[in-house]
Amino acid sequence: MLIYTWLMLIFLLGLTVGSALNVLIYRLPLGKSVIWPSSRCGYCLTPIRWHDNLPILGYLLVLGRCRHCRQAISWRYPLVELLCGLGWAAGFVVEVMLNAQHFPIVTSLRVFIWDYGAVPLPLWAIVLSDGLAVTLLLLAFFCWWDRRPVPLPVVAVIWAIVVGLNVLFPWPAPNVPVEVILQSRTHPQVPLPGLQLASVWHPMPKNAIEGEPWVGLLGAVAGSCAGWCIFRLLRGIGGPLSLGEAALWIWAGALLGWQGVLLLWPIVMLLLAGWAWLMTPRGPLALFLGLSLPTLRYTWPHLGQSVYPWLVHGWGIGSCVGVALLATAAYALAVRRWGQPVPTLAEPSAILTHAAGRPDQCTGRYCRSGTADDGGTTDSASPPVDSASPPNQHAEQQNPQTETTGH
């Protein structure tokens, strides 16, 4: 029953990542340093003690108020930590304990995994990639909520990790029976589970043994290219999606392979277009991806068998692209209809220009106010450094309370 120990550890790891995520959410979109200064009360700038900075527990210890000035600390901090912890734990439960993707390796090693906690390395890679997916989507979602751009560097780093994991743990095509894969190898062994839904193409080119690193790399590159095409299109039609937000498609491509992205594209674009027509021009892309991506991934063992031949050999690709292009056109029209209500938030530079008007708000290296070059001068009795200063009117309506923030 050692597996429950792993589950607990993964949950704690997720909480810790969530704690770091809070810092990323508040600092990166404003171009601030992530490591300096240390976490402090957003109101009185008193550094937070390490035991008050523990995920969730710290918030409970101080009863949601700063020890020093008694200002309320935003409930968003424990919420993000809890969601991140639950997300990481859910990845472990679904992939390892429930084996939702029907990995042969989990079935054959069931006793070892459950009784001795001997989880094979490829499964850890999958748990890691799931956890990073949860982290990235939470980051993107809360940046959307705050009407801030999604920081591109985080998307790029997580994309690079996913590509690396794809090379280390390539995935055999889904409609190939395990026996065939076993026979195709010179040394029969249980095939490694990989990150992608499917490899580059099926049937594979001659001399390409599924499960080989370069096939995994090819799959990640093909998926990233498909995602990049969508990224370019979304950027080309204008609209309020920030660079990092649109780049989520490139990451999704590396994670799912080009087939998966092709299936997701029309669905997510229809949701985005609908949102743009009915609600606001900038839809919650992270939320739509967060709902559709796991659904596709975990139904793929059943869905893949029937969809794959249609997708590759039939009219599938054309239909997907056609519907997706129509939805993209509808989205572009909807954005035009709004005019350009939030163009200032499309790029980080816009926020920084905005922040530069208030020197006390800007300590980042991109600061144009002239105070940042000497390390920032925020230690005086200045207003909150990291407080959720609403970048525009939308945000002001969204967050009327001026809660202080602890990071």
34 versus 44: smaller Cβ distance to Zn ion = 44
Q: What is the DSSP string of 218-230?
A: HHHHHHHHHHHHH
46 versus 349: smaller Cβ distance to Zn ion = 46
43 versus 159: smaller Cβ distance to Zn ion = 43
CA dihedral sign, ordered 270, 271, 274, 275: negative
CB 8 within 8 A of CB 127: no
Shortest approach of Zn ion to residue 65 CB, angstroms? 8
CB 14 within 8 A of CB 88: yes
Shortest approach of Zn ion to residue 371 CB, angstroms? 23
43 versus 88: smaller Cβ distance to Zn ion = 43
Tokens, residue 325? 């292009």
3-state secondary structure of 260: helix
Question: Measured between alpha carbons, how far is 173 from 146 in angstroms, rounded to an integer?
Answer: 40
Q: CA nearest 129: which of 372, 271, 297?
A: 297
Question: Measured between alpha carbons, how far is 53 from 47 in angstroms, rounded to an integer?
Answer: 10
Shortest approach of Zn ion to residue 116 CB, angstroms? 48
3-state secondary structure of 72: strand
Shortest approach of Zn ion to residue 150 CB, angstroms? 29
Q: Which parts of this chain interact with Zn ion (CB under 5 A)?
A: 41, 43-44, 66, 68-69
DSSP state of 46: P
48 versus 215: smaller Cβ distance to Zn ion = 48
Shortest approach of Zn ion to residue 109 CB, angstroms? 51
3-state secondary structure of 357: coil
3-state secondary structure of 71: coil
Shortest approach of Zn ion to residue 305 CB, angstroms? 57
Shortest approach of Zn ion to residue 71 CB, angstroms? 5
3-state secondary structure 110-159: HHHHHHHCCCCHHHHHHHHHHHHHHHHHHHHHHHHHCCCCCCHHHHHHHH
Shortest approach of Zn ion to residue 302 CB, angstroms? 53
42 versus 87: smaller Cβ distance to Zn ion = 42
Tokens, residue 381? 């009795």
Shortest approach of Zn ion to residue 134 CB, angstroms? 30
3-state secondary structure of 268: helix
3-state secondary structure of 247: coil
68 versus 235: smaller Cβ distance to Zn ion = 68
193 versus 384: smaller Cβ distance to Zn ion = 384
CB 43 within 8 A of CB 381: no
Shortest approach of Zn ion to residue 359 CB, angstroms? 22
71 versus 363: smaller Cβ distance to Zn ion = 71
73 versus 345: smaller Cβ distance to Zn ion = 73
Shortest approach of Zn ion to residue 212 CB, angstroms? 56
361 versus 404: smaller Cβ distance to Zn ion = 404
Tokens, residue 354? 């905005």
Question: Measured between alpha carbons, how far is 300 from 255 in angstroms, rounded to an integer?
Answer: 14
Q: CA nearest 34: which of 46, 21, 53, 50?
A: 21
Tokens, residue 301? 């063992």
User: Distances from the Cα of 264 to the Cαs of 112, 125, 249, 371, in angstroms?
Assistant: 36, 23, 10, 45
